[in-house]
């Protein structure tokens, strides 16, 4: 029989996850220049849901842990190349005065337009995870540093939803950009001239943003890849369970009495540490070495 | 049947594990278990039993015993002391059912939900030879019959004349023996007295050639219970003494008196120090959360599972184990 036994019920894990969900939130903001345009985000999120299932195959499953966005502000600024029309003069014979056209320039600012829609209502991420518990003995190679017993969660399956923006978000952004650009173009015959030059507002937006197909796919790619926000979520949630990061560790020998008044600390060797789960509880067992 | 059928968290320690832990403590903190006068530092061979210490203790030059004042010889005109030692040489615990400790009839059979303790103690005391006494006696007579000295020794009375007495004794003894400091620790051929090194507050320590020893076995029965300490609501696991018995000690009134004294020592001195905070015993939940860099608004505590609604006994002493049952309580901020 093991000298020491500690067991934690499945219900306790669920309570712990519930407490984590209630207490854990994060905020992050960043902005990147992509040449003709700048894009960024300002986000705040919290966790919801999440159920823990201890399984007879010695694994723990965390299911349907939702990442809800309190704020998912997408920041987009576009610098459109300046376009000038008019400004030339036609020399007419005396006594007629020269005929000079007025010079009109647009898109002179940098950026010319910017939008900051909050997309929180349109997106949600879900995380599911399965891993097994593992006890390992780490032999220190650093002089003066103790060996350690370490308990890891060895990930077996990890599933994190990608940012997937619906069509409505693409339309929303495209409409907002179109309205803003259209508002910059003066009316009258000049407008027709400029529209002719840029080939239509919609085409201008797609050219500048280098949108290959749907704008919502372009937006998803920005969040998933370019912003690295998915990596950030992964770092936040998944690396917690990664094999490099023990969820619990302690020195071997384990200190049970502190050093005092010049007396050495009292330490006991821990042997045969074992961690396993059944379908109802996690059990940690160990022996005290001789 | 799962460990956590009746609680969120279950913890158990087997008696073999505790006995090993005690053994490690005895080897790494021998000064908690061995008490003796200063001479034993130079003459460890005088101990009743050889002290087994861990190599780290030697390397760190930690003391292997706690230095005590010499045992006073009552009635002497100047303080005179005897070398002595007290050693706790063995400590064993046995959770119900009793299967490793044979309890004396006064304490057996071991009741359910109880634990048995066996402590072996050895006591050693110097018994100076007649020649040592003969050497010092003339001086004691001088001091005892001096007209300005009280009828009884100054170590028994008020300290009014103590300084003068000590000074007299010290100079007198040095002059008579012509010895220097340090001689007291050498195996004497006769009386060797020095109130300096080897003495405590001017006490003259009689020279020691050998120690007379005897060993006794102390048996005790105890149980655990939960409780608070002071005004904090924090739950602690406390050890409560039910009974004590010293084997083969006569006459009975003396045995009763010593047992009474030892009960006081255990109840008021030793056991309160062994109280264990509940979180420390299972897992330091707060520390684990903090180590993960998580700022928690909720209050997370561990509380004992209720008896008998949750479990029949908590803590439970059964099957050679002490078991604790606890629940994780999360209160929203």
At B19-54, the pLDDT tens digits run 999 999 999 999 989 999 999 999 999 999 999 999
Predicted pLDDT at A188: 78
**Chain A closest CA to B277's CA: distance in Å?**
13
d(CA A171, CA A125): 21
Mutate to test the interface with B, among A2, A10, A12, A260 (most CBs of B within 10 A): A12
- List the single residue in B9, B24, B294 with the smallest CB-CB distance to A8: B9
Task: Check pLDDT > 70 for residue B173.
Answer: no
Cis peptide before B105 (omega within 30 of 0): no
- List the single residue in A18, A263, A288 with the smallest CB-CB distance to B17: A288
Q: Which of A63-77, B85-99, B170-184, B191-205 has the lowest mean pLDDT?
A: B170-184
Compute the CA torsion angle A190, A191, A197, A201 (nearest 10 deg): 160
- List the single residue in A1, A22, A248 with the smallest CB-CB distance to B298: A22
B292: closest chain A residue by CA: A247
Q: Which of A200-209, B5-14, B154-163 has the lowest mean pLDDT?
A: B154-163
d(CA A121, CA A123): 6
At B279-318, the pLDDT tens digits run 655 555 556 565 655 566 677 778 889 888 889 999 999 9
Q: For residue B266, how many other CB atoms are within 10 A of its CB?
A: 20
- List of chain A residues whose C-beta atoms are within 8 Å of the C-beta of residue B14: 1-4
Task: Please name the residues in contact with B105: beta carbons below 8 A apart, sequence gap of 6 or more.
Answer: none
Q: How confident is the prediction for chain B on average, in pLDDT?
A: 80
Contacts with B, A 227-256, CB within 8 Å: 240, 248, 256
**What ipTM goes with this model?**
0.74
Residue pair B203/B69 in contact (Cβ under 8 Å)? The answer is yes
Split at pLDDT 50, 70, 90, the class of B185 is very low
Q: Which residue has the higher pLDDT, A87 or B245?
A: B245
- List of chain B residues whose C-beta atoms are within 8 Å of the C-beta of residue A267: 24, 28
- List of chain A residues whose C-beta atoms are within 8 Å of the C-beta of residue B25: 256-257, 266
Mutate to test the interface with B, among A2, A4, A9 (most CBs of B within 10 A): A9
| A96 touching chain B per CB within 8 A | no
Q: How many CA atoms lie within 13 A of B101 on its CB side?
A: 32
- A46: β partners: A25, A68
**Residue A262 to residue B62, Cβ atoms within 8 A:** yes
Predicted pLDDT at B179: 30
Predicted pLDDT at B291: 61
Predicted pLDDT at A161: 80
- List of chain A residues whose C-beta atoms are within 8 Å of the C-beta of residue B7: 9
- List the single residue in B3, B13, B29 with the smallest CB-CB distance to A7: B3
Predicted pLDDT at B307: 87
d(CA B120, CA B89): 6
Q: Which residue has the higher pLDDT, B176 or B58?
A: B58
| A280 touching chain B per CB within 8 A | yes
Rounded average pLDDT per 10-residue block, chain A, 290 residues: 93 84 81 87 89 92 88 90 82 82 83 90 85 90 90 80 82 87 82 81 83 80 80 63 68 91 93 94 94
**Residue B292 to residue A240, Cβ atoms within 8 A:** yes
| B332 touching chain A per CB within 8 A | yes
């Amino acid at each position: 029989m093991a000298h020491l036994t500690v067991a934690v019920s499945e219900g306790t894990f669920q309570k712990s996850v519930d407490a984590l969900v209630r207490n854990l939130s994060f905020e992050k903001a960043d902005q990147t220049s992509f040449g003709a345009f700048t894009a960024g985000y300002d986000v705040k999120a919290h966790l919801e849901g999440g159920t823990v299932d201890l399984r007879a195959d010695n694994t723990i499953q965390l299911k349907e842990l939702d990442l809800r966005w309190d704020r998912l502000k997408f920041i987009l600024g576009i610098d459109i190349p300046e376009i000038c029309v008019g400004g030339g003069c036609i020399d007419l014979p005396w006594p007629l005065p020269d005929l000079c056209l007025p010079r009109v320039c647009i898109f002179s600012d940098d950026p010319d337009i910017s939008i900051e829609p909050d997309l929180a209502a349109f997106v949600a991420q879900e995380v599911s995870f399965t891993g097994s518990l593992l006890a390992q003995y780490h032999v220190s190679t650093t002089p003066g540093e103790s060996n350690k017993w370490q308990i890891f969660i060895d990930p077996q399956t990890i599933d994190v939803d990608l940012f997937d923006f619906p069509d409505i978000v693409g339309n929303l952004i495209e409409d907002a950009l179109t309205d803003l650009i259209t508002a910059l173009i003066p009316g009258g015959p000049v407008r027709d001239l400029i529209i002719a030059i840029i080939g239509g507002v919609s085409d201008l937006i797609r050219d500048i943003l280098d949108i290959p197909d749907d704008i919502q796919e372009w937006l998803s790619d920005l969040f998933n890849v370019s912003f690295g926000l998915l990596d950030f979520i992964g770092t936040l949630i998944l690396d917690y369970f990664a094999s490099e990061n023990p969820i619990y560790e302690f020195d071997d020998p384990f200190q049970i009495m502190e050093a005092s008044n010049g007396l050495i600390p009292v330490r006991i060797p821990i042997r045969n540490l074992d961690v396993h789960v059944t379908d109802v509880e996690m059990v940690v067992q160990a022996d005290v070495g001789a | 049947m799962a460990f956590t059928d009746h609680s969120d968290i279950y913890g158990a320690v087997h008696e073999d594990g505790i006995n090993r832990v005690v053994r490690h403590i005895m080897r790494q903190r021998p000064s908690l278990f061995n008490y003796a006068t200063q001479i034993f530092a130079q003459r460890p061979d005088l101990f009743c039993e050889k002290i087994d210490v861990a190599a780290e203790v030697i390397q760190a030059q930690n003391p292997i015993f706690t230095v005590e004042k010499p045992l006073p010889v009552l009635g002497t005109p100047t303080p005179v002391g005897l070398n002595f030692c007290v050693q706790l040489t063995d400590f064993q615990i046995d959770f119900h059912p009793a299967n490793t400790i044979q309890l004396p009839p006064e304490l057996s059979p071991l009741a359910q939900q109880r634990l048995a303790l066996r402590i072996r103690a050895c006591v050693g005391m110097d018994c100076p030879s007649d020649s040592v006494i003969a050497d010092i006696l003339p001086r004691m007579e001088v001091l005892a019959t001096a007209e300005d000295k009280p009828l009884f020794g100054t170590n028994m009375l008020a300290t009014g004349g103590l300084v003068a007495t000590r000074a007299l004794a010290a100079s007198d003894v040095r002059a008579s023996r012509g010895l220097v400091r340090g001689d007291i620790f050498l195996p004497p051929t006769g009386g060797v007295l020095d109130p300096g090194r080897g003495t405590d507050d001017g006490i003259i320590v009689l020279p020691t050639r050998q120690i007379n020893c005897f060993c006794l076995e102390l048996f005790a029965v105890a149980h655990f219970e939960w409780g608070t300490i002071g005004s904090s609501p924090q739950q602690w696991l406390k050890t409560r003494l039910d009974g004590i018995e010293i084997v083969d000690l006569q006459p009975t009134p003396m045995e009763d008196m010593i047992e009474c004294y030892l009960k006081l020592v255990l109840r008021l001195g030793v056991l309160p120090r062994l109280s264990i905070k509940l979180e420390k015993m299972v897992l330091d939940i707060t520390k684990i959360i903090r180590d993960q860099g998580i700022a928690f608004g909720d209050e997370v505590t561990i509380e004992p599972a209720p008896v008998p609604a949750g479990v029949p006994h908590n803590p439970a002493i059964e099957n050679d184990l002490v078991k604790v049952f606890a629940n994780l309580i999360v209160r929203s901020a």
